[in-house]
Every structure is written in structure tokens, then in C-alpha cells.
Copies of this chain bind each other. A is one copy, B any other.
Amino acid sequence: MVTRNAEYKLHIPSQTDNLELIRNFVSGVAKKVGFGNEDINKIELALDEACTNVIEHAYRDLDKGDIDIAIKVDYQKFVILVTDKGKSFPFKELEIPDMKQYLAELRVGGLGVYLMKSLMDEVEYHSEPGVKNEVRMVKYFLNKD
């Protein structure tokens, strides 16, 4: 029996050597709530990308920082909130690459947000500058159970 309507939270230092723990956490919860392997892999990668950005950009100039990951599950959807207290950025102005052009020009980097958007059903960014920044990603349960 799959249990939904629950909240899982992980609080973890902002370091790349914690990405594996973060992936294991989210894939464990995603498996538990009934996602298949393909969706589990997508969710895992999307969260890795979101956290990598927090580590490498939001906390770039800081010695230390923490990442808070909250997973809220209800009967329709799987919501991941990634919160940091580092630097904010203008998410809406971010230029999402056209992959054909990207590859033709042999560009490097700048694929994280593109991946997040491709892998999840919804990706949003909210910032209260100086307080916290939050990435919100949603995956809906479809044709499941």
C-alpha cells in the first residue's frame, strides 16, 4: 500500500560531496510513494541540478551554507522545495538554451535549469532577497494506482 499525504525533510550542508545523500533521499521517497524507475531517475536528477546550483551559485562566495529540502506528497503530486539562504538570482530572465544551437556552437555549462524544466512538470523560483530563495519543482502522479 502506498502512503501519500506526507512530508519529508532533509537539512544538509551545502557541499558537492552531499549530492549522493541528497539523491538517495529523494529517490527513496519517490520509490516509496510509488513512482516507477524512469520517474525516480528524473526526480533524482532534477534535484541534483537544483542543489548543485545552490552549492555552486547561491553559496558560491560563502564558506558555509545549508540546504533545506522538503518533499510534500499528496494524492495528486510530488512537490520538492529546495531552500537556501544564499545569493538570489533573476530566474525569470535566465535564457534557456535552444539545444540545437547550443550543440552547434559547442557551448559549455548552463544546462541545469534546462534539465530541471525538462524533467519535472513544473519548476518555479521564489526569492525573498536576504532571507531565503526557494526552488519549487512538481511532478504529478499520472495513470498511477
Contact = CB atoms under 8 A, between A and B. Distances in A.
Interface string A1-27: 001001111111101011011001100
Contacts of A29: 21
A32 interface: yes
Contacts of A32: 17-18, 21
A11 B15 CA distance: 20
Nearest to A11: B9
Q: How many chain copies? A: 2
A129 interface: no
Given A25-B21, A32-B18, A32-B21, A7 B3 contact: no
Contact of A3 (B3, B8, B11, B15): B15
A77 to B, nearest CB: 17
A8 B15 contact: no
A13 B17 contact: no
Given A24-B24, A24-B28, A25-B25, A6 B13 contact: yes
Contact of A28 (B6, B8, B15, B21): B21
A12 B25 CA distance: 11
Instruction: Enumerate the 5 nearest inter-chain pairs by beta-carbon distance, A residue then B residue, closest first.
Output: A9-B11, A21-B28, A6-B13, A8-B12, A24-B24
